[in-house]
Amino acid sequence: MEIQLRTMLLRSVLLGASLLMLSVPMVNAQRIQNIQASSDGQRVRVTYDLVGLASRQMAKVSLSFERDGRGIIEPTKVTGNTVLYESGRANTLVWEADKEMPGLNAYLVPQIRMDLEKYTYFELWQRRGDLVNKNFTKGMAANLLFPGMGWKYASGGTKGKGQMIAFGAMLSSAVVVHQMARSSYKDYQSSLYESDYRRANSQHHISLGIGTSAALFYVSSQLSFAGKRAYFSQNPRFDE
């Protein structure tokens, strides 16, 4: 088995790379470049750089080969960086050519196709295996107790910490301003000054507004977490 990947081919690799760019959607200038290939006679190793990948976009990469100008090989036994969530250099694809096409004897021109998809961060956590706790019910119960607590069951917890801080700040602010309003109202009862009454009334409305915001935030957090139920059920191992 002999796979030719020498100087002659490397000139063709550059041609393959330029042809590739015509088939890749040029959204926000995402592109694959610097394609290089080598072979040990059994496997073909292709490296490439991905540049310009936009935020919250996922690149699915597929590898094919032009064979001596006589057709296209689309291998299935490819491992390596086939799914990317960010730009990066020296990404690697390895084709087990000896297992898929024993006795292959050819010059090969590697070509890489890139398909772009949008993703949510929750999907990213799931695909990377960062759903650190597998039980949705525990997460929902914790989130009902205090908004944000449930997210530690579904991710690294960064989003949950932000929610907990925001809700705690709103809740404590509402309590503090309410106590200030009560104090101002007691002052009014003692002095009967209209200014004390206006201050107490103003503080009461501020407290009510903050409390309402906290209540809406609580409901929003529960709905947001409940909406992630589908991600747990897509794969049984996330809900054991």
- Domain ranges for the chain: 2-119, 131-238
Topology of the domain comprising 2-119:
Immunoglobulin-like (2.60.40)
pLDDT for 214 equals 93
Residue in 162, 165, 161, 184 with CA at minimum distance from that of residue 173: 165
d(C-alpha 79, C-alpha 226), whole Å: 35
pLDDT for 21 equals 34
Query: Model confidence at 127, in pLDDT bands (50, 70, 90)?
Result: low
Query: Model confidence at 142, in pLDDT bands (50, 70, 90)?
Result: confident
Burial class (CB in 10 A: 0-12, 13-18, 19+), 194: exposed
Q: Render pLDDT for 171-195 as a digit per residue (tens, 0 to 9).
A: 999 999 999 998 888 888 888 888 8
Looking at residues 129-136, what average pLDDT do you find?
56
Are 46 and 32 spatial neighbours (Cβ–Cβ below 8 Å)? no
Are 75 and 66 spatial neighbours (Cβ–Cβ below 8 Å)? no
Which positions ≥6 away from 215 have C-beta within 8 Å?
A: none
* Tokens describing residue 225: 């977490």
Percent above pLDDT 70 for the chain:
74
Q: Render pLDDT for 55-92 as a digit per residue (tens, 0 to 9).
A: 778 889 999 998 877 889 999 999 999 988 889 999 99
Q: How many residues does the chain have?
A: 240
